[in-house]
Amino acid sequence: MPGFGDLIVEINEWDKSVLDQIRAHPKIASLNGKPADQAYTRQELVDVGRLLPQSWIDNGAAVGTAAQCADQLMTYLDAGADEILLHGAAPKDMGPLTTELKRALDAKGL
């Protein structure tokens, strides 16, 4: 999505030069704005993914088991997020996360 990377970098106060490096990668630069996940498989994007700083992943993504992801999502809600975008997994694979997120919300009385 045009502008989405800029928005994420700006909101998180991350180094825009990293985003520029990602956009300059031959696989991304050749897309002319088309989404990379529609043009390449996950395996084909591994080399591009290596450009992401670990801190961006640690602070900006929920990665791990369903329980770990639910806990990270709760951290975002506790920090004031009122919406969370879930992507990177098919809806059919979200069942365990949904269960864990309900557990985490119930534990907080939400």
Per-residue pLDDT of the chain (110 residues; tens, 9 = 90+): 678 899 999 999 999 999 999 999 999 999 988 889 889 998 999 999 999 999 999 888 888 999 999 999 999 999 998 888 887 777 788 899 999 999 999 998 88
Q: Are 5 and 22 in contact (CB under 8 A)?
A: yes
Question: pTM for this one?
Answer: 0.75
SS3 30: coil
What Cα–Cα distance (Å) separates residue 16 from each residue in 7, 25, 103?
A: 10, 15, 37
* Residue 36 tokens, joined: 């990379």
> Which position has the token pair 């520029």?
20
Contact residues for 23 (Cβ-Cβ < 8 A; gap 6+): 5, 29
Q: Cα–Cα distance between 105 and 49 in angstroms, integer?
A: 31
